Amino acid sequence: MKRKIAAIFAADIAGYSRLVAEDEEETLRRLASYREVIDDFIAKANGRIFNTAGDAVLAEFPSAVDAVRCAIDIQESLRTRNMAYPPSRQMSFRIGITIGDVVERNGDLLGDGVNIAARLEGLAEVGGICVSRAVHEQVANKLSVQFADIGEQEVKNIPTPVHAYMVAMRREDGTYSKPQLKKPASKLAAAPVWMWPLVVAVVSIVAIGVTGFLYNTKLKQTATAAVTPAATPSAAPSPTATQIAKAPMTPMAPNASAAMAPMPAPSPSASPISGKFAADSVPFINERVRNYLAGDYAAAGDYKAFALNIGGFTGSALNQANEEAARNAALDQCQKRADAAQSPRRCELYAVGNTVVYIHGKPPMPPQPWVRHDAMTERPFAPKDFPMVRDPQKVRLENMFVPAAKSRSVALGPGGQYFMVLGASSADDAARRSLESCGAIAGVACLVVAIDDNFVVPIPTLFRTTGFFNAASNASIVADARSDVVRKLADAMGWNAIAVGTAGRPGLGLKAADEQTAVNSALADCARRDSDCHVIAIGPFTVGPIN
């Protein structure tokens, strides 16, 4: 037998027995498909599967960083696959990870490290990841991941509590979930045997005393009630437990990076939309819904309401008994549609009657034209080259955007947020809706990156994209040269590149036929007025060296 320290990864399916009982053949078929995804991610992360049993997978990794990164990629990829199924038929894994001393025997691993990983998996949320304190200490400053400390947890067959952390999983809109905190374990010391008779006696005496007190109190209350009628309290009732549970939770703020960026706060200049309802001004919706609003909704009586969310899901109620009934019916219809599609956003009232009541204001939009077609820079859409997103998001684009019906569009935010619209009535409609939804998510104007089968902006391949480029505020360019760069870039078609040197003096390569030519021209132009020049932007993106 051989001992070693390893990062142990344990995963299994939540509710697997129920899934099998409902449809055994379909469940087993999908399990095989999902296992291919898991096995592939584990192999790419230098992991090794050392045991499987039914729906469970046990793997070892050379480092905790590799294990956690692999687990995140797996969960995000499987979440995308699950979107094709109703909630009751989704196949979601829980994953637990720890670092431990294990014994290797005939390729299998044994020991507390394996057992603890399995128990952490049981603590994880559905579709989530739970790690031990040792793993948290290893990865906290190495990955753009946020954790929720759930404290000491008592787990089966482990003599001492395990200090555990939940990983905050990224949602589809770029924000992060906030794991539900589990109560820390509180292990009471066992009382000596001789104390139990004393405890029983004390409890009995207290019980007798409380019973007598309550009985006497009840007699007094009954006598008082016979003389004085009960008073109706005038104070407003305190919030119920349900109301408290529904209070909004503050999102966890993830570490900033191009691929794992947080959702910025809504634009402070966006004031609530109010005034008279106009169908042409409603954001996020398709033309069919807009025609309905301009016709049936506009012509209906007073007690009506319209609700929406930023994903484009809507609900309406016409000819209701009163305003409250209209509000509730519209919100309920919208939310049911959003939940069925697993939209992460809640529905909100947009209009009550003919009055707009939407509290968020218009989403930030870029200036028109939203899309400028340029034969020199447009090329076929390839998910692997989509900028500023991680591999699981690229898989989602491959599985959803590529095969979808036209017209379709993807808009990208400066922090890596993106939103796709599929099957729109026109390319313009797809572009508008993707920009509106992406802008509402990001809090700033987004950029249309792809329409139908093509990238419609230059996509760098010689460098790594790190964000959006804004010459007017770019700190790498010396202040007195920024306005000149802005002027020269205006309406410059083709490939454009910007380079700067140690003094911040810019060099421009404009209107080139390809990326390499633009880069060479920018570096040569920079070298004429500065030293140690390097490229900082290509097209609309800031760039850095490929790692």
Which tens digits make up the pLDDT trace of 254-280? 222 222 233 333 333 345 666 899 999
The helix or strand, by DSSP H or E, that contains position 158, with its residue range, turns out to be none
Q: Is 147 found in the same domain as 26?
A: yes
pLDDT at 272: 60
pLDDT at 215: 41
Query: What CATH number is associated with residue 40?
Result: 3.30.70.1230
- Kindly state whether residue 387 falls inside one of the protein's structural domains: no
Arithmetic mean of pLDDT, 391-416: 90
Which residues, 6 or more positions from 359, have their beta carbon under 8 angstroms from its beta carbon?
272, 348
Q: Which of 118, 136, 167 is where one domain is finished?
A: 167
- Kindly state whether residue 502 falls inside one of the protein's structural domains: yes
Q: Domain count of the chain?
A: 3
Out of 195-199, 325-329, 331-335, 530-534, pick the least confident: 195-199
Give percent of the chain above pLDDT 90: 48
pLDDT at 342: 74
> Measured between alpha carbons, how far is 154 from 354 in angstroms, rounded to an integer?
56
> Measured between alpha carbons, how far is 135 from 70 in angstroms, rounded to an integer?
13
Q: Which of 333, 356, 379 is where one domain is finished?
A: 356
Q: What angle do CA 200, 201, 204 make, to 5 degrees?
A: 85
Instruction: Give me the residue label for tokens 């950029």.
Output: 447
pLDDT at 177: 56
Q: Which of 336, 356, 376 is where one domain is finished?
A: 356
Domain interval for residue 22:
2-167
Strands 464-468 vs 541-544: parallel, antiparallel or unpaired: antiparallel
Q: pLDDT digits over 40-56, tens only?
A: 899 999 999 998 877 88
Out of 188-192, 341-345, 405-409, 482-486, pick the least confident: 188-192
Arithmetic mean of pLDDT, 279-283: 93
Long-range contacts of 16-25, Cβ-Cβ distance < 8 Å, separation of 24 or more: 16/54, 16/55, 19/89, 19/91, 22/89, 23/89
- Kindly state whether residue 25 falls inside one of the protein's structural domains: yes
- Kindly state whether residue 408 falls inside one of the protein's structural domains: no
Is 230 a residue whose pLDDT tops 70? no
Mean per-residue pLDDT of the chain: 80
- Kindly state whether residue 456 falls inside one of the protein's structural domains: no
Of the pLDDT bands very low, low, confident and very high (cuts 50, 70, 90), residue 203 is very low
Q: Is 158 found in the same domain as 22?
A: yes
Taking the whole predicted model, whether its pTM rises above 0.95 is answered as no
